[in-house]
Amino acid sequence: NKSPKLAEQLRQLQGGRNVLRAAIHKYHVVERSKFARLRAVWRSFKGLFTEGSTRVVLPSPLEEVNAVSGGTNARPTPPLAADQDPYQRWLETHSPSEIDFDAMRKAARRLARPPLISVIMPVYDAPEQYLRAAIDSVRDQVYPHWELCIADDNSSNGRLREVLAAYAAKDLRIKVVYRQENGHISRASNSALALATGEFVGFLDHDDVLTRDALYEVAMVADRHPDTDMVYSDEDKIHHDGRLSDPFFKPDWCPDSFLSRMYTCHFGVYRRSLVEAVGRLRPDFDGSQDYDLVLRLTEHTTRIHHISKVLYHWRAHSVSTAHGTSAKPYSGVAAERALNDALIRRGEAGVASSLPDCPGTYVVRYQIKLPDLVSVIVPTRDHGEDVDRCLTSIFAKTTYENFEVLLLDNGTTDPESLATFEKWASKDARVRVVRYDEPFNFSRINNYAVAQSCGSYLLFLNNDTEVITSDWMEAMVEYAQRSSIGAVGALLLYPDGSIQHAGVVTGIGGVAGHSHKRFPGDAFGYFSTLRAINNYSAVTGACMMVRRSVFEEVGGFDETLAVAFNDVDFCLKLQAAGYRNVYLPHAKLYHYESRNRGHETTPEKQERFGRETRTMIERWKTNVEPDPCYSPNLTLEHENFAIRLQ
């Protein structure tokens, strides 16, 4: 019973504490930024004298630009001291204060039509302290319009019945049903669903915890978008001591990413009428019942919203899948069955299979309907050795048979290179050398090549690539043939086996950067991102396939972007036209990082790069518009999916 004056003083104190936290955080950011600059300058100086150095890093935000595959402005990643936990620092500046919660309560009261949200909780032999924490997290919500629907699945621990009965007596918004036999999670959840009367239903495990603003954030989305059918949020893990870790900052709705892993997961909230319409949860898919449910739901709606905030704490203990998928090994089998069932329902001939060394991740391989001609377009000037290695790998390893190679010779003068081109043209009728003696313009060269080609599929390929996986072209055709897909990209590795390209993220460095660049080639990446098929806003033109019809629909490459970002611009045009771009981890090539056109070291080249950078920012607002296939909570300074702290 605090006095109003004391309450106001406490609020001011809390506000001052938040300001202090923000100031400390900004101090750390500035310090790291200074260090990053000094480190970049030192590396640049050192690189001048290092034997075998392939590039000089200028002490500037502008990185060198690959003449064919776009470029990046990302800075080197500064080291992090061992005693610094980025997520704890993130929580300090992003966790709502009591003042924020008060504002949320007031906003909720102003809603003209506040939706009732039914929280569904199946319970079976939950540790009592965790069960109480889960229930209390619902009762502590700042949004008041909820009901908690609990189904006890005939727990062997009789004490839990007493706990549930006490909560139901204490709060009329809590409803409990006691099942007479153990039916496992889907049947128990369906029993809880039978109690629900809310417009929306959200699923909460009996040992997990909602943040206090979870239902408020969902209600605000429903208020802003009354036709919403599905909402999901970011999540983290909570340990026995209350410590929070491992935040999963997710992308917006990406259908192909979802077919590779159940990334929406917690906190998932769905329109109850749609859940009922698709038949609720199916017991045959226990262990991945939520994956199966969302696969079915999203076949009936695209009205899906992502809340880029952590609203759910997933309990990490020895029998929880948050601790590791080995706790419930049957979940992977159920997920694989759910995916294959979805492919059958959708009429897409394909097979989903799990990755044995990456639990919870799946690969869908589609049947190729028509093995139409693929036109492989390889621009070059000189560099006969690179071209020879590239074509040798294509013809020696590629198992897809219906392709042609157009070697676009952009002003070659080297006799040995010309002899190499002629050798290939004479050796195989599928190789054609097309002369294009005009000043270098990547976009114009490739647009010209397309006009000379015959294929239904266009495969743009750097001359300094080398095929690794024999079915790379089949894999790309499998996805390029789908009507929903725009550009298809591959996994490109540096000669040392580290990652050169695994999808492009817009906004990094102001325009775009490569996902997980320089990570080990066998790394899992951020929440298995590297091993999963993923939608990205863009993929690199160093190895990119697209249907000819789609290429022509969006007008091909923009010829005002002569060197940098033309591939990113092209992919963004595809995305704006309603197509999805996709990265395939199982289509692998080496990329020797084009040396054809040199580095951005002259004033003329730097001026051109600056002009093309401004074009991208003005056209696509890459410096302010968040990438829908990436999280606004992840860094835009580096390419490593680190937490964004500034």
Residue where the block lists tokens 């098929």 = 533
pLDDT, greater one: 156 or 79: 156
- State residue 602's pLDDT score: 80
User: What contacts 202, CB < 8 A, 6 or more positions away?
Assistant: 117, 118, 119, 120, 214, 215, 218, 267, 268, 269, 270
User: What contacts 584, CB < 8 A, 6 or more positions away?
Assistant: 475, 476, 479, 488, 489, 490, 491, 533
- State residue 611's pLDDT score: 92
pLDDT digits (tens, 9 = 90+) for 594-636: 444 445 568 888 888 899 999 999 999 999 999 999 999 999 9
Rounded average pLDDT over 111-117: 97
Query: Among 82-96, 293-307, 436-450, 587-601, which stretch is predicted with the lowest mean pLDDT?
Result: 587-601
Structure tokens, 197: 């009367």
Residue whose C-alpha is closest to residue 221's, from 144, 307, 283, 348: 307
pTM of the entire structure?
0.85
Amino acid at 88: Q
Euclidean distance between CA atoms 47 and 131, whole angstroms = 58
- State residue 330's pLDDT score: 83
Euclidean distance between CA atoms 441 and 309, whole angstroms = 43
Query: Among 74-88, 231-245, 369-383, 490-504, which stretch is predicted with the lowest mean pLDDT?
Result: 74-88
Query: Among 37-51, 242-256, 490-504, which stretch is predicted with the lowest mean pLDDT?
Result: 37-51
pLDDT above 90 coverage of the chain, percent = 81
- State residue 46's pLDDT score: 37
Residue 39 pLDDT level (bands cut at 50, 70, 90): very low
- State residue 603's pLDDT score: 83
DSSP3 helix / strand / coil % (the chain, rounded to 5): 35, 20, 40
Residue 43 has pLDDT above 90, yes or no: no
Query: Among 267-271, 466-470, 598-602, 606-610, which stretch is predicted with the lowest mean pLDDT?
Result: 598-602
The length of the chain in residues reads 646
Rounded average pLDDT over 494-513: 96
- State residue 251's pLDDT score: 98
DSSP string, 205-260: -TT-EE-TTHHHHHHHHHHH-TT--EEEEEEEEE-TTS-EEEEEPPPS--HHHHTT
Residue 36 pLDDT level (bands cut at 50, 70, 90): very low
Amino acid at 162: E
Query: Among 144-158, 518-532, 585-599, which stretch is predicted with the lowest mean pLDDT?
Result: 585-599
Asked if omega into 267 is within 30° of 0 (cis), the reply is yes
